[in-house]
Structure 1
């Protein structure tokens, strides 16, 4: 059924994640009428599941501790992260990013977002990694509030279906909501900010191959809709074969009261004060209550003797030889990390951590025991542990016995109770391929010509920039959103 009404505005943004909301804010602050179309029931997108770090030079926090840093230095250091991917990078986009991300960080501070840091991360020559408090949901909370203050019209549960293309330019978006088709006209421009395509198996199959196509997406609604909208009008995807992962990560935390609370500035400031004043033993459990990201167990666990067991109770792969490719083929596409008492003691203190974690830097086994009871199980016998995690005890005991008969070189096997299971873990992937864009965030055609009226940001508009290292993905999402929103707002009315 069609809606005969035609709605007109200055700028249309497709997607209400971090990049889309920033694009909307930038355009609205320039006095433009802005409409945001978001297919999900709530804003935030992948930003809500990010670790939460943002890397920038020339920040007030750096200046406060006497660090003099410049975008030029950041530009040089970013290249040091890329390794073999350096030849795939787009230096023009990298320069646009580093020159504008300091203002992005300052705008977030003005919106009330609280950071701690900066933290060091070699090969950055100085600390640049700023970490959000209390968790990554603070970004969408602040951005959504600011957008509404500016009068941005945010339409949730509106899925963009196609771009309206007339007289050689993009003039609007056709979207579906509640079974009705709506036509929205953009007098100045359309910004595509719909995230990556990690949940689109066919698109992954085309660009990354069959193995990657089987890995799950961190966000199930990251289906590449915005990419496809642009492809339909002649755009192309750059670096479509590059992915983050697959990575083995723990399932997300179960929703609890702490993660449901609004990420208030007062709470964030309290946490920041506590982190600077109180002993880690007191503050760690409190901070970990607010984790919303999907944490990644480190490879050293397996090198030290931990094994992976599937839901059938079987060991199915060499844990040190890309098990992330095997997990999508296991029952329920998941597995459990099995440790014994010796490994548990070892991974309770530095330098043997289970994973990195926002706010506490490194999370050890006691952190998981206290704060992730949903993925932590322990028992004094293998049979009892099998029952706790719901796997067949006979197969499980045999799998561990077989491993103990030929354990990983240099390790004794899993012999000493108590026995611990962490998980389930699943294989997650984020795609890095984005639409080819200009440094002004204009979407380019296969012939490298500007598609008039069309802009892209975030993962949708990654456009060839390589974002290795912590804090660059979020930094790019927000900064490219700002630049795309500004470019669309400045475009002459057709």
Structure 2
């Protein structure tokens, strides 16, 4: 059985510290307990290795828990079931079609390793009990390849952790890895801190760095991507690039550090959404899958949307149609159609509200005027947010009433809307008809795309391309060079690179 360590000073934690004093040697050590780290641990453990996972947070899952949940792959059983004959070679070619001007910065060797191995990754997830709906189309993929997890993305971490536990993987939570141990030019272990106490752990095989990106590290964002990007928030506040810095300290380098996903304006995560808190139960997922396949959309839609209106991105059409952004002072502070994601982080609380009137509310209640989209599954309209995101939906019969609900000065909001109505966006009448509606807060989120330089075996490389013996990287930490445009490629890479890194660390001669 896996060892799940409780917070510091609990009996379980004290017991593990006793074990650590006398048995600190493992075959493979994984730094990070998110999707890529857990998959690395599972792969190494399936090869019969003794594996340790060190996670700095109080629970595993990492960024995977916040993902939309899609995974793109060729050669899946779901594709074959609907008569789709798809192969990695075609997936390799189609991925390049997403890249545009970034194609010259892609690493074909890593892209090839990904597409060749992601079908086995998907198969392993299916074997672990993960349920998918699809495949769904996403041009320019020539065939449907996007598989959407049910009931939500926490299913991945749940399945991976359960598999790791059954394989006997040791998982230490609340353990921050502070440095790597090097002996005779090879990485042989780590130093980790827990509750102010340092522990050394050694690996006879390899060490896998799988600690995520640096989207919550302002200094790193500023250094690699610039001052403007540095102000954007991170979806996961603990994504501080710790594992990447460990790799840099060992002689590695960051590739594509200036590339980011976003910044994007997204709604804040749900505070009390029951559906996103449901356990990722396989039976529930199967019921959802059956319902989505067999029941009328009008019947199943309200239920499905409860899972989807989470941290989605409002579409630009909303602003083009006349909606405006206001800050906590009730002031309009930007041109909403000219990169507002760069202005929002500079406002009080680093957030803003989207304002609509009754006419816009009617418009954005039906196709083709949706508020946001969840890829391959559904469009979310204003009634979906009114029903499922009561924590970010506010409505009142007057501007003063709306101001009171969102906590901004009423006189300032009235002044702002009056000024806007004197010169509304071209082709729109202004915000003149009750009821008045606010959605938000919205914040500017960013994911960093740069990671440690690696080869197709997930070994960390120096700037000169030399292997750093004993050191591997996976997921966002090891994204050094591969471009992952298109839905389903980030998660696919996280899991597949984790598998390959775990295998490599487990088979060092």
**TM-score in same-fold range (> 0.5):** yes
Gaps of 5+ in 2: 1-16
2:68 corresponds to 1:12 = no
Whole-Å separation in 2 of the counterparts to 1:240 and 1:439: 19
> Counterpart in 1 of 2:271?
254
User: Displacement of 1:358 after TM fit?
Assistant: 6.3
User: Displacement of 1:259 after TM fit?
Assistant: 2.8
Whole-Å separation in 1 of the counterparts to 2:424 and 2:164: 56
Secondary structure class of the residue paired with 2:477 = coil
The answer on whether the counterparts of 2:309 and 2:380 sit within 8 Å (CA) in structure 1 is no
2:103 corresponds to 1:54 = no
Whole-Å separation in 2 of the counterparts to 1:360 and 1:58: 21
> Counterpart in 2 of 1:129?
146
Determine which of 267, 279, 282 is the counterpart of 2:299: 282
Whole-Å separation in 1 of the counterparts to 2:204 and 2:152: 37
> Counterpart in 1 of 2:426?
409
The answer on whether the counterparts of 1:382 and 1:396 sit within 8 Å (CA) in structure 2 is yes
Whole-Å separation in 2 of the counterparts to 1:229 and 1:220: 19
Whole-Å separation in 2 of the counterparts to 1:5 and 1:213: 44
2:472 corresponds to 1:477 = no
> Counterpart in 2 of 1:354?
371
2:454 corresponds to 1:437 = yes
Whole-Å separation in 2 of the counterparts to 1:356 and 1:99: 30
> Counterpart in 1 of 2:10?
none
Whole-Å separation in 1 of the counterparts to 2:76 and 2:321: 40
> Counterpart in 2 of 1:309?
326
> Counterpart in 2 of 1:203?
220
Whole-Å separation in 2 of the counterparts to 1:100 and 1:350: 38
> Counterpart in 2 of 1:336?
353
Cα distance change on mapping 1:243 and 1:365 into 2, 3 Å: same
Aligned residues: 491
Gaps of 5+ in 1: none
Deviations 1:322-364 (A, max 9, x none): 1111111101010000011111111111111111126842111
User: Displacement of 1:256 after TM fit?
Assistant: 4.0
2:197 corresponds to 1:180 = yes
RMSD: 1.3
User: Displacement of 1:48 after TM fit?
Assistant: 0.3
Determine which of 245, 249, 269 is the counterpart of 2:286: 269
User: Displacement of 1:257 after TM fit?
Assistant: 3.7
> Counterpart in 1 of 2:246?
229
Whole-Å separation in 2 of the counterparts to 1:142 and 1:329: 40
Whole-Å separation in 1 of the counterparts to 2:41 and 2:209: 11
Whole-Å separation in 2 of the counterparts to 1:470 and 1:250: 19
The answer on whether the counterparts of 1:249 and 1:294 sit within 8 Å (CA) in structure 2 is yes
User: Displacement of 1:292 after TM fit?
Assistant: 7.9
> Counterpart in 1 of 2:7?
none
Determine which of 323, 335, 353 is the counterpart of 2:340: 323
> Counterpart in 2 of 1:162?
179
User: Displacement of 1:187 after TM fit?
Assistant: 0.4
Deviations 1:50-76 (A, max 9, x none): 000000111111110111111111100
User: Displacement of 1:277 after TM fit?
Assistant: 1.6
The answer on whether the counterparts of 1:5 and 1:182 sit within 8 Å (CA) in structure 2 is no
Whole-Å separation in 1 of the counterparts to 2:308 and 2:142: 29
Cα distance change on mapping 1:45 and 1:292 into 2, 3 Å: farther
> Counterpart in 1 of 2:133?
116
The answer on whether the counterparts of 1:50 and 1:293 sit within 8 Å (CA) in structure 2 is no
Cα distance change on mapping 1:10 and 1:458 into 2, 3 Å: same
User: Displacement of 1:274 after TM fit?
Assistant: 0.8
Cα distance change on mapping 1:258 and 1:296 into 2, 3 Å: same
The answer on whether the counterparts of 1:133 and 1:268 sit within 8 Å (CA) in structure 2 is yes
User: Displacement of 1:490 after TM fit?
Assistant: 0.7
Whole-Å separation in 2 of the counterparts to 1:360 and 1:374: 23
Determine which of 484, 492, 496 is the counterpart of 1:467: 484
Secondary structure class of the residue paired with 1:374 = coil
Whole-Å separation in 2 of the counterparts to 1:163 and 1:175: 9
Deviations 1:357-405 (A, max 9, x none): 2684211111101000000011111111111111111111111111111
The answer on whether the counterparts of 1:114 and 1:265 sit within 8 Å (CA) in structure 2 is yes
Return 337-346 or 465-474, whichever deviates more: 337-346
Deviations 1:258-287 (A, max 9, x none): 333311000000001111122222222222
> Counterpart in 2 of 1:491?
508
Whole-Å separation in 1 of the counterparts to 2:425 and 2:118: 45
Determine which of 147, 161, 173 is the counterpart of 1:144: 161
Cα distance change on mapping 1:368 and 1:360 into 2, 3 Å: farther
Whole-Å separation in 2 of the counterparts to 1:91 and 1:292: 35
The answer on whether the counterparts of 1:18 and 1:139 sit within 8 Å (CA) in structure 2 is yes
Whole-Å separation in 2 of the counterparts to 1:205 and 1:421: 32
The answer on whether the counterparts of 1:19 and 1:480 sit within 8 Å (CA) in structure 2 is yes
Secondary structure class of the residue paired with 2:369 = coil
2:105 corresponds to 1:88 = yes
> Counterpart in 1 of 2:122?
105
Secondary structure class of the residue paired with 1:81 = helix
The answer on whether the counterparts of 1:49 and 1:293 sit within 8 Å (CA) in structure 2 is no
> Counterpart in 2 of 1:192?
209
2:329 corresponds to 1:299 = no
> Counterpart in 1 of 2:259?
242
Determine which of 444, 463, 484 is the counterpart of 1:446: 463
